A = this chain, B = another copy of it.
Amino acid sequence: MANSGNKRIPVAVLGATGSVGQRFIELLTDHPWFEVAEVVASDRNVGKPYREAAAWRLSADMPESVASLPMLDYSADLQSPLVFSALPGEVAEEIEQRMAREGRALFTNTSFHRMDDDVPLLIAEVNPDHAKVIEVQRKNRGWSGFIAANSNCSAMHLVLALKPLQDAFGIDAVSVVTLQAVSGAGYPGVPSLDMIDNVIPFISTEEEKMVIESKKMLGRLDGATFVPANMVMTAHCNRVPVRDGHTECASVRLGSNPEIEEVIAVFENFRARPQELKLPSAPERPIVVRRENNRPQPVLDRDTERGMASVVGRVRPCELLGLKFVVLGHNTIRGAAGASILNAELFHAEGLLPV
């Protein structure tokens, strides 16, 4: 492991004042390996302390250690070798590539590079072996650093739940309908006039992302080429008046016909590389199964395993595809910043960080 002594690796957070940026900062407070050293956002607030630049919205008070850091803008010459990106899509491409070119390890929550042929789209428990495509990436692009992405927040929890099923039974088809929280749209995000007493049955490009990202993550890396999972998949995405926590109703056609209790056992017994390595942000149980017939629910279950687990419930037969269940997870912790940090921990533990 590259970390020696108690010296923590300095990290920069890009898009530090936004919703996901704030979550990065919250989750990195008191992190054993990483330390927020630089906060970066658009130039409006450059030079101001983070305390003044960010309207902190995660709890009463922002972490003291970050509050006094001066805001940097995107042109700043960063010192941190490790960078987390919560950039808005429109500026992500150029900035993220520059970071990698400059030799930094960039872990991005932005969608821009997710589907690039030489960028790993990673869930640490699902496809840690995809990480090695960064060698191809470096060769292709002549970079000393690299870009590693995590997926869309709703794909994240679905794929985490599908992975042990794929391993145990194979997966032929998936139909998913989501009920997504408003924090997924950032801040200001969804107007309250669109959410009080309402549902919006549409989230721009979300259904497409869920399908292609899920197939990439459940697929395999064949040398320098990603082969997407060979399964049929359809998604319908809705926005509902919930602060945090995406609820997803999934029907799945497996490669075989296990008993329901067997499926539940497969969910509950799922452990993977982050659990073996005891990564600091790894949930003890990546998938938690609730047996009550009215669970999981956002207010009760989104913080399971500090928001890093996917909570599965209502596992039962599906008349159409054989198996159906609900999966719920925290969309800005496991679904965004927490997933990115877990990926960085995996790289660090595997000796893949350039530090």
Contacts and interface: CB of A to CB of B under 8 A. Distances in A.
Contacts of A243: 193, 196-197, 299
Interface stretch (A36-44, A108-116, A182-190, A337-345): A182-190
State the copy count for this chain.
Answer: 4
Contacts of A319: 211, 232-234
A183 B251 CA distance: 27
Interface in A226-245: 232-234, 236, 238, 240-243
Interface in A187-241: 187-202, 211, 232-234, 236, 238, 240-241
A349 interface: no
Interface in A303-330: 303-304, 311, 313-314, 318-321, 324, 326, 328
A249 to B, nearest CB: 4
Contacts of A189: 191-193
A45 interface: no
Contacts of A301: 60
A267 to B, nearest CB: 16
Contacts of A175: 175, 251, 320-321
Given A234-B251, A319-B234, A195 B198 contact: no
A274 interface: no
Contacts of A4: none
How big is the A interface, by class? 35 or more
A296 interface: yes
Interface of A: 19, 57, 59-60, 173-175, 177, 179, 182-183, 187-202, 211, 232-234, 236, 238, 240-243, 247, 249, 251, 288, 293-301, 303-304, 311, 313-314, 318-321, 324, 326, 328
14 contacts: A175-B321, A177-B236, A177-B249, A187-B191, A189-B193, A195-B196, A198-B242, A199-B297, A201-B294, A201-B296, A234-B321, A236-B324, A241-B241, A243-B299
